[in-house]
Chain A
Amino acid sequence: MDIVLAIIFGFLFGFVLQRVGAADPDKIIGMLTLRDLHLMRAIFMGIGLASVLLFVSLQIGLVDVGHVSVKKMYTGVMVGGLLLGFGWAISGFCPGTGVVAAGAGRKDAIAFLLGGLVGAGFYMCSFKYLKDGWLMESLFGGKATLVTTGNSVALLDAPWSVALAIIIGLVMIVVAAKLPEKFCD
């Protein structure tokens, strides 16, 4: 059953990323050079909507709290984010969109995926030297969220904090609607 779901959801996500324009380096680099904010608006809309739906569903018990899966916060998250940011801007791809672009027939995406396998390999080999170091030191109590989810360390741990999550989601949707499509062109 899991495998059937993986095929359905993976296919859907890949299909959507392609039709959104996220697998197109011109669109990604257009966003990162602040000229073409189409993807920025789609991202804000997507996160905002998903967040509102998630927190409303958690409140009414539609989503199993066990499905909430928050990633740990440690120094390496930010150092890794910087590294990813450099590569993202240089190539115009991120891991998911690189896979989708290769599926869509882009040959440059194959070079990106090969580079990705090398980068992941570097990390696999270097992990034994990093695992007990400062990069891995937990921050904010590890699996931390801004609001109460039931399956994380909440910085604002109170019943009303869920309302804040929904407000943040709604603000993201408004930002998506207000941002101009073309900027600094």
Chain B
Amino acid sequence: MYWNWKMSGIALGLCFFLTVLIIKPIGVSTQFVIFDGIAVSLFKDDISYKDESTKTGYASSNAYLNKSGGKYAKAVSNPINYSFIFVVAMFLGGFVARKLQGANDSCSMVPDVHKRRFGDSRGMRVLLAFIGGVLVLWGARLAGGCTSGHMMSGMMQTSISGYLFAVAAFIAAVPTAILLYKK
């Protein structure tokens, strides 16, 4: 079973506060770009290279990795950095939490909401999860952040981008979820 709302909220609040207290606000979606960059760098040398003339000492043939003085290009060349390892460790945290939760909780790849609407169709679920993934990360990168970086970290700091991002995300998500999954 999951924690109740109060325990859940306190735990989330402490995660966001402790990270900003010790180092910086939480963000996740940038690391999908860094992962892509690392993957491409196995085949393409100019995706990240040393360049003394930039602010970070790195540059890229890709305009996005090259922005802000080669900030992302540097992360691609040095994957052992705070933000990337943070996301890798999140994966481990999910793994351990699930193990401690006990085996009686079901962990089917087909959620109940999906079953009610589309039946036990695994192919359809994989397709929806994949399409959702494309839209979520495309949107998150265009917005410059996701639910963690904009909505949680942003609204914690009263940032205008955080509030407007959250409004836009819910304006799209609530009607879509109701149309797609409510009987």
Contact = CB atoms under 8 A, between A and B. Distances in A.
Given A19-B97, A27-B2, A82-B172, A51 B156 contact: yes
Contacts of A93: 129, 132-133, 136
Q: Provide the main secondary structure of the chain B interface.
A: helix
Interface in A96-123: 96-109, 111-123
Size bin of chain B's contact surface: 35 or more
Interface string B1-41: 01101101111111111111111111011001101110100
- Give the most central of A5, A81, A92, A123: most B CB within 10 Å: A81
Contacts, number: 507
Contacts of A77: 143-144, 150, 161, 164-165, 168
A3 interface: yes
B110 to A, nearest CB: 7
B152 A112 contact: no
Contact of B172 (A16, A86, A95, A97): A86
Contacts of A123: 33, 64, 137-138, 141-142
B131 A76 contact: no
Contacts of B102: none
A135 B142 contact: yes
B2 A19 contact: yes
A2 B23 contact: yes
Contacts of A101: 94
Contacts of A85: 139, 168-173, 176
30 contacts: A8-B89, A12-B93, A14-B92, A25-B114, A38-B2, A45-B12, A53-B17, A57-B17, A73-B160, A74-B161, A82-B139, A83-B172, A87-B132, A88-B173, A89-B180, A91-B131, A95-B29, A98-B133, A100-B90, A102-B94, A103-B93, A111-B133, A112-B132, A115-B137, A118-B133, A120-B32, A122-B134, A123-B33, A146-B159, A149-B158
